[in-house]
Amino acid sequence: MGFNHLIASLLCIQLLLASGSGLSGYSEQPDLVETEVQAETTNRIPLRRAGRLLLIEGQIDTLRGFFVFDTGAPYLVLNKTYFRNLKENQSVFASGITGNTSTVESALIDELTFHSMTYRSVPADVIELGHIENARNVKILGLMGLSMFTDFEMELDLEKNVLTLNKLDKKGFSIVSGQNPARTDIEEKISYDGACLTVKAKTGGKNMRLCIDTGAEINAINTDSHPDIIKSVEITGRSKLMGTGSASVEIFYGNMGELEIGSQILRNLGTVITQMDDLSDGYGRRIDGILGFEYFNRGIVTINMKREVMTMTTYQE
């Protein structure tokens, strides 16, 4: 897998989505999607890998394919390649990492199914995602964002390639006891403002707020972060990322020596350094960086949005 492909999947998609998230016709309550769901108390959903993208097999009406499991997106996003003829509710422009603009349309999906779950009357944004398919050679119908999972505790285990969804009681606790790992190495408060799920972290002795993003193939840091944060990444190379037109942006990549989340210190995390002005503008808040695959590959991670808690049980070497 070329590093340019990895960066493109991480940043072009995420920054385009973020810039459009505040503009969608469903942006007022992106975390309160009106859907009908039939599901068991616990759903164990197998994940397929395409590079470092985490894919869930699903179906919209009669069309089958894969969706990227993407907590960096606030709701369902569809690939315009397959959904050009949907009834459009609204069309807006969103800018990407290189400053170019793309059209984001919104629509309503009659039915979406995956594993044993069925959603009906699902609002979605529709954008061009063909570059993911070209890079990964897999049929990508879209991205499954946070609004699909707000009623569940998400447990992600990349050693087993399984996403477990545990239904919650009224207080936000898992209905089925004994589902979570007995030992946790990290338990940290998270926050969600309807657009971006974030966690506090520290590196180089400086505090950061990172976007928790299962759709990102590598961690990322904002170029205008404190110099001590930038220095925590040992640069090993650089690359040019091309946009949809002639614009381009330079990306630096390397390894972050230490990242502290809660009481746990994680070491040697692959990280890129890039400008995130469009990302921050789209989310409506400053984002210091992205917590992606490099983090989730270190242990079993649970995300509980109702209790606003993220935990990790690190894998034993």
The pLDDT tens digits of the residues spanning 210-236 come to: 999 999 888 999 999 999 999 999 999
Q: Is residue 261 part of a domain?
A: yes
Does one domain contain both 92 and 241?
Answer: no
- Mean pLDDT value of segment 148-168: 93
Nearest to 112 by CA among 56, 40, 42: 56
Mean pLDDT of 196-211: 94
Task: Looking at the structure, tell me whether residues 39 and 91 fall in a common domain.
Answer: yes
Helices of type H across 154-263: 227-231
Max Cα–Cα distance, the chain, nearest Å: 54
Same domain for 253 and 283, yes or no, is yes
Q: What is the pLDDT of residue 16?
A: 40
Structure token pair of residue 203: 């590196």
Question: Could you give the percent of the chain with pLDDT greater than 90?
Answer: 45
- 194 with 273, same domain: the answer is yes
pLDDT band at 38 (very low <50, low <70, confident <90, very high): very low
Q: How many residues does the chain have?
A: 317
Give the pLDDT confidence score for residue 287 in this predicted structure: 86
- Residue 71 inside a domain? The answer is yes
- Whether 284 contacts 193, CB under 8 Å: yes
**Is residue 180 pLDDT above 80, yes or no?**
no
CA-to-CA distance for 223 and 233, rounded, in angstroms? 11
Do 149 and 207 sit in the same domain of this protein?
no
Say whether both 160 and 186 belong to one domain: no
State residue 310's pLDDT score. 96
Distances (CA, A) of 203 to 72, 109, 207, 226: 22, 42, 7, 10
According to the model, what pLDDT value does residue 46 have?
Answer: 96
Between CA 140 and CA 68 the distance in angstroms is 7
Please tell me whether residues 135 and 82 are part of one structural domain.
yes
In a domain, 91, yes or no: yes
For residue 171, being part of any structural domain is answered with: no
d(CA 171, CA 203): 33
| Residue 273, pLDDT above cutoff 80 | yes
185 plus 295 within the same structural domain = yes
Domain containing 244 equals 181-314
- The reply to whether 138 and 62 lie within a common domain is yes
In the DSSP assignment, the letter for residue 207 is: E
User: Mean pLDDT over residues 128-145, rounded?
Assistant: 87
Token pair for 84: 């050009």
Taking alpha carbons only, the member of 294, 313, 302 closest to residue 185 is 313
* Pairwise CA distance, residues 251 & 273, whole Å: 6
Summarised one tens digit per residue, pLDDT across range 182-195 is 678 889 999 998 77
- Per-residue pLDDT, 94: 53
169 domain-assigned: no
**Domain assignment of residue 22, yes or no:** yes
Q: Please indicate, yes or no, whether residues 225 and 301 belong to a single structural domain of this protein.
A: yes
Look at residue 71 in the predicted model and tell me its pLDDT: 93
Q: Which of 295, 291, 251 is nearest to 273 (CA)?
A: 251
The three-point CA angle 287-290-295 to 5° equals: 145
- Whether residues 107 and 216 fall in one domain: no
The pTM for the full model equals: 0.84
CATH code for the domain of 39: 2.40.70.10
> CA-CA distance, 298 to 317, in Å (whole number)?
10
What is the domain count for the chain?
A: 2
From 164, 199, 221, the end of a domain falls on: 164
Residue 130 binned pLDDT confidence (cut-offs 50, 70, 90): confident
pLDDT of residue 239: 80
Residue 170 within a domain: no
Same domain (yes/no): 145, 269: no
Of 267, 249, 265, nearest in space to 257 by CA = 267
What does the pLDDT read at residue 100? 52
Mean pLDDT of the chain: 80
